[in-house]
A = this chain, B = another copy of it.
Amino acid sequence: MFKIKNIITISDYITIINIILGMLAILFHDFRFIYVAIVFDALDGYIARKTNTVSDFGAQLDSLCDVVSFGVAPAYLLYFYFENTLTLITSLVFLICGTLRLARFGILDVKYFVGLPIPAGALILSVFCQLFLRYSKDLGNIVGMDVNNLILSLLAVLVGLIMISDIKYPKYPNKIALIIFGISLILSLVGVFEVLFICAIGYVLYGILKMDIEDS
């Protein structure tokens, strides 16, 4: 009756936690669930490799959960907190680019990421939104559009384009980078997301500036 349970592995359960967190970010309008989802997204791949349970099913499931947690959730929150015709359009652009990025990832088999990975895209958009919610002042309008919304919208499109670009990003970051990222993630959960902001910007620029990753 439910043969599907025979193909679900331990790492798939962790992937399911990822999508639950993404959905909670949407339902409770809280960016922090996205940050925690990033941890679980990294964890499922790690555990699948360690337990030798890497599977096509797991890869499919992973992409499906990623589009929710790192595509729909940040796009939804951008529109939710900065409701506007412009953010409506640009949140859709971000989601479409993220989805195209994931579909391409599903068919490529290379040693590096092609285009900014969608969790990083979600992270940078989310952190920017949080910074704007905390610090932004009324900057007035340009051609009838609120300047804050305009900046965030441009960012969403820019991050979207970097995701579907051919810019190469390394697949497995080194340990020091991971530790710094972990600390900044924990800080962001208690409300200090400025460090995470710097990490995210650093990662995006790293891919753009470091063009010398070897082809596989």
- Chain B residues lying within 8 Å of A56, measured Cβ to Cβ, are 106-107
A203 CB, min distance to chain B CBs, angstroms = 19
A19 CB, min distance to chain B CBs, angstroms = 6
Interface core residue of A72, A164, A165 (most chain B CB under 10 Å): A72
A48 interface contact, C-beta 8 A: no
Cβ A92 vs Cβ B60 within 8 A = no
- When chains A and B are docked, how far (Å) is the Cα of A80 from the Cα of B4? 30
- Chain B residues lying within 8 Å of A165, measured Cβ to Cβ, are 1-2
Chain A residues bordering chain B, tally (CB within 8 A): 43
A86 interface contact, C-beta 8 A: no
- When chains A and B are docked, how far (Å) is the Cα of A71 from the Cα of B103? 17
Contact pick for A107, options B20, B57, B65, CB 8 Å: B57
A199 interface contact, C-beta 8 A: no
Q: How many copies does the complex hold?
A: 2
- Chain B residues lying within 8 Å of A38, measured Cβ to Cβ, are none
Which of A93-101, A128-136, A148-156, A184-192 is the contact stretch?
A93-101
A102 interface contact, C-beta 8 A: yes
A16 interface contact, C-beta 8 A: yes
Cβ A19 vs Cβ B99 within 8 A = yes
A193 CB, min distance to chain B CBs, angstroms = 25
Interface residues of A (CB under 8 A from B): 1-4, 7-8, 16, 19-20, 23, 26-27, 56-57, 60-61, 63-65, 67-68, 71-72, 75-76, 79, 88, 91-92, 95-96, 99-100, 102-104, 106-107, 115, 161, 164-166
6 A-B pairs with least C-beta separation: A61-B103, A60-B106, A60-B103, A56-B107, A64-B67, A64-B99
